[in-house]
Structure 1
Amino acid sequence: MTKELLMPELTDEQMQLVKDGERLDFLIRENRYLIQNPNYFPFSVDAILLANFIQFNQRASSLRIMDFCTGGGIIPLLLSHRTASKIQAIELQADIADMAKRSVRLNGLEEQIDIMQGDLRQLKARNQRLDIISCNPPYFSLNEAAKLHSNPYHAIARHEIHLTLDEWVSKASQLLKQKGRLFIVYRPNRLDDLMMSLLNHHFAIKRLCFVHPKQGENANSVLVEAIARGGRQGVRVEPAIIVHQEDGSYTPMMQEIYYGNH
């Protein structure tokens, strides 16, 4: 994901944004820095694939975009490379939201990316509703208690402790304009729950793409595009993404997603 030899040098002023115990990752294709803390839930391949899955139309400079459950801000940083539109993002946990804000400052993107700290369930719909919402949500239900992480930051990011599936789908439906688009990464074993919630909140499912760790292995993620209050015109299942080759290295597709032409 990161190749430190290619990371440009930072000024002393930029380095002051990185706190003790934190590290810097460099997103090569997008030329972006990302502050990470091993005590918090780190970004994973899911976030990278979700950002890559999002499609923009020809008027991408005037879109209204929001990222739910933004964590350290990885998705807004990745999207900022592809669009000049302003991007809002919201994160519940204050320490993680602060880290995301510092990553935005580190990249000089304060005018484009706005990181908010708060509970997305409290967001109110405005006159100008959103064009796009992305969401890499908690994907374990509280019934899956055996998987509850001992680290509270990890537990909140992974489990529906403060935010359920139906709550964030409902909020997305409220905030998106007619035929606005919701992009999601989720777990295949809960795809039936996700589809039921989307349909209950007046979404039409447009695209699916399954992600497999290796060729021949079961999918462990699924990417979904859904249209708010749009007519149901059938679901397009796109070619699967295979993350690793047999030797553990990234497939050519994943190398392109991570590194671009570098």
Structure 2
Amino acid sequence: MRLLSQDPPEDLPRRVPLKLQPEPGETLDSICSGRVQVLQRRQGYRFTLDPLLLAHFAINEGAAQRGRLMDLGTGCGIIPLVLARRLGRKDITALELRPHLFSLAERNVYLNRCEREVSLVQGDLRRVGMQFAAGSFAHVLCNPPYRTQDSGRSSVSMEKAIARHELACELQDVVRAADHLLVPRGTLFMVYPASRFGELTSVLRVHRMEPRTVRWVHPLADRPAKRVLLHAVKAGRADLTVLAPLVLHGDDEHAFTDEVNAMLM
């Protein structure tokens, strides 16, 4: 895997760590017409549609441009894998706190032969200043925990609970980390509950992040939005664009719309 400081020589033998086949209690899932394969825990954290929507939104909104890209809280590595294998993005760094998920992400990077595109770092986004210099990245993506600690019933699985509830980090931690990591006028991309959009914009502006583009995500065309995809600019000007809504399902509530299906192909 590529080190943060330098790329390996082209003739360096490929080091393959651990097992690249499912172990007991794991599944091997394929997305993007088989171009991305993902090892996941059968009972633990499993990725949802949200990170796939975020990856495509970010690319459409400028994350395809040159410059280093950071995925905060990468989990099993799904966002970097889609960016690299499906969308052709390079120079991706992914940060993950939990050792077992970091190990799973590492296996997935090698499984998909993305060692040269993706660098994995184990660490806490609340302490990014200890691992990365200020202004090290042009783009930051994050699919953070959605629920406050006291909202709803926490999952019986700690792995799921940390992914869903603000146990290991809160919204302000994510935005503060992005502020440190981004260059001036660098871009932050997030997917977040529509119900917390007001809180999200308030926290962004405290940290000099100005919302630039938003897209509401609706389960059905006649239903309220459940998610919002947001693109913010560090030290940017107030100039918000609201894109056409993204509708997940058509008349058949069990089938995705053509636009969503295109993201999954």
CA distance in 1, matches of 2:45, 2:141: 18
Q: Deviations over 1:85-115 (max 9, x none)?
A: 2111111111111111100001111121112
The offset of 1:148, in angstroms, is: 1.3
Amino acid at match of 1:96: L
Root-mean-square deviation over aligned CA pairs: 2.1
The offset of 1:84, in angstroms, is: 4.4
The offset of 1:46, in angstroms, is: 0.5
| Secondary structure in 1 matching 2:219 | strand
Equivalence for 1:80: 84
Q: Decide which of 230, 252, 259 is 1:253's aligned counterpart.
A: 259
Note the 1:120-135 alignment, pairs <5 A.
Answer: 120-124=125-129, 125-126=132-133, 129-135=136-142
Q: Decide which of 32, 36, 39 is 1:35's aligned counterpart.
A: 39
Equivalence for 1:105: 110
TM-score where L is the length of structure 1: 0.87
The offset of 1:16, in angstroms, is: 3.6
Equivalence for 1:192: 198
Note the 1:140-179 alignment, pairs <5 A.
Answer: 140-144=147-151, 146-179=152-185
Work out whether 1:53 is the aligned partner of 2:57: yes
Q: Decide which of 222, 225, 229 is 2:228's aligned counterpart.
A: 222
CA distance in 2, matches of 1:65, 1:162: 22
Residues 61 and 83, structure 1, Cα contact 8 Å, conserved in 2: no
Residues 65 and 131, structure 1, Cα contact 8 Å, conserved in 2: yes
Residues 134 and 181, structure 2, Cα contact 8 Å, conserved in 1: no
Equivalence for 2:5: none
CA distance in 1, matches of 2:148, 2:134: 33
Q: Once the two structures are aligned, what percentage of the paired residues are identical?
A: 31
Equivalence for 2:71: 67
Equivalence for 1:205: 211
Residues 57 and 48 of structure 1: is their aligned pair in 2 closer, same or farther, counting only changes over 3 Å? closer
CA distance in 1, matches of 2:236, 2:139: 14
Work out whether 1:137 is the aligned partner of 2:140: no
The offset of 1:180, in angstroms, is: 0.3
CA distance in 2, matches of 1:199, 1:63: 24
Q: Deviations over 1:15-72 (max 9, x none)?
A: 9422222111112257121111122221111111000101378995741000011111
CA distance in 1, matches of 2:84, 2:168: 28
Q: Deviations over 1:203-246 (max 9, x none)?
A: 110000011111211111110000011122x2111111111122
List 4+ stretches of structure 1 deviating above 6 A: 56-59
The offset of 1:116, in angstroms, is: 1.7
| Secondary structure in 2 matching 1:147 | coil
| Secondary structure in 2 matching 1:42 | coil
| Secondary structure in 1 matching 2:248 | strand
Gaps (5+ residues) in structure 1? 1-12
Residues 127 and 15 of structure 1: is their aligned pair in 2 closer, same or farther, counting only changes over 3 Å? closer
TM-score where L is the length of structure 2: 0.86
Residues 128 and 222 of structure 1: is their aligned pair in 2 closer, same or farther, counting only changes over 3 Å? closer
After TM superposition, the structure 1 stretch with the greater mean CA deviation from structure 2, 49-58 or 155-164, is: 49-58
The size of the alignment, in residue pairs, is 245
Equivalence for 1:10: none
CA distance in 2, matches of 1:189, 1:223: 12
After TM superposition, the structure 1 stretch with the greater mean CA deviation from structure 2, 104-113 or 118-127, is: 118-127
Work out whether 1:235 is the aligned partner of 2:240: yes
Amino acid at match of 1:41: Y
